[in-house]
Amino acid sequence: MADVAERAGVSTSTVSRTLRGLSTVSPEVRARVEKAARELNFAVSRQAASLVTGRTGTVAVMVPTLNSWFMGAALSSLAPLLRSAGLQLNVYEIPDLAERTDFFEHLPARRNADALLVFSFDLTDEETARLDDLGMPVIYVSQHVDGRPSVYVDDVAGALHGTRHLLNLGHRRIAFVQTQGASGFTFSSNERLLGYQQALTEAGVPLDDDLVVSTRVGDKRAAAEVLGTLLSLREPPTAVFAEQDEVAVALIWNLRKTRIAVPERISVLGFDDQPLADWFDLSTVAQSPSDMGREAGELALKLIDDAEGEHGRHLVLPTHVIPRSTTAPVAHARDEGERGDRPVSPSRHRSS
């Protein structure tokens, strides 16, 4: 820094103010300092700066997986926001119980970040208390945690509106397909099931446990087994609400493979509005992880700058039902005709 100051003809404190982006430096001086820094290949040492400011210049993110559309979209909007504020992004992927145990035992984010964003984890009370002791803002994303800053969509309301869409089309036998094995995401899963149940109860439709089934994401055979279970019921469903678009697409693929028309015989609704929902013309409940990542990043920046800020603030983002070609009115009359339920006249019977 002293070398940069000498070449630019300014003090080291002016170099510091310039490279920290403070507005107290004139444009002419800023240009000289930046030119000198480039010529000397000077880079700010974050470790040295943190000794002065008490900040690391890093925001940490804790995620259950990076192999998901949701995480990719959220981090893609979060990272540039942090970069524009001069902050780096450090990601901790916690895919299994062993990694989770190690993370909470050692808390590697401590003293290595200015804030921590926790994405889609069902934490125990003990784990939440451990994060409370980090001494930095902890923002919960895609979930709400009482008394802590949270950014999420109302999964209950989203599933309720999605189920209402199917009810308004005349469906009364509506199945709900949950996911299993998606570490960290059972919070949203349980909330969406609750919204589905609330909509049925509101419409006076009895809850039927046989219509709530589970499958694995990205597994066509598992989706086929789920369909086999539902279609072998005494009263099979006329509509299926899948809690993720990927599951809905796997169900549609299997239905069409077995010549069961969608939506003529069975309507299918997803949740998320991933790009593949548009490609498959899938009706779905849309959420925006990009907006969620951006809002979480902006909240983190505010709490880093204001230690006394609203640490119990909740930001609830909207969901929207997007009707496409995979949902349609239930066709009672047509189904009865196709099954031969209408009586055959005696004359026609004799002539045959």
Q: 117-160, pLDDT tens digit by residue?
A: 999 888 889 999 999 999 899 999 999 888 999 999 999 999 99
- The CA-based angle 278-284-290, given to 5 degrees, is 70
Please give the sequence-ordered ranges of beta strands (E in DSSP) within the chain, or none if there are none. 58-63, 88-93, 115-119, 138-141, 150-153, 174-180, 212-216, 239-242, 267-272, 283-286, 314-317, 320-322
Q: In which band, very low, low, confident or very high, does the pLDDT at 17 lie, cut at 50, 70 and 90?
A: confident
Tokens of 44: 């700010």
Q: Above 60 in pLDDT, residue 349?
A: no
DSSP per position, 102-153: HHHHH-TTTTT-SEEEEES----HHHHHHHHTTSS-EEEESS--TTS-EEEE
Query: What's the pLDDT at 21?
Result: 66
pTM: 0.78
Cα–Cα distance for residue pair 175/237, rounded to 1 Å: 6
Rounded to the nearest integer, the mean pLDDT of the chain is: 87
Residue 269: per-residue pLDDT:
98
* Dihedral of alpha carbons 295, 298, 304, 308, sign: negative
Domains of the chain (ranges, CATH numbers): 2-44 (1.10.260.40), 55-153+290-318 (3.40.50.2300), 155-288+321-331 (3.40.50.2300)
User: What separation in angstroms does the CA of 338 have from each of 10, 139, 159?
Assistant: 88, 55, 32
Cβ-count burial of 289 within 10 angstroms (0-12 exposed, 13-18 middle, 19+ buried)?
buried
CA 159-162-167 angle, to 5 degrees, is 120
pLDDT value for 250: 95
Distance CA 325, CA 272 (A): 16
Q: Could you tell me whether strands 267-272 and 239-242 are parallel, antiparallel, or unpaired per DSSP bridges?
A: parallel
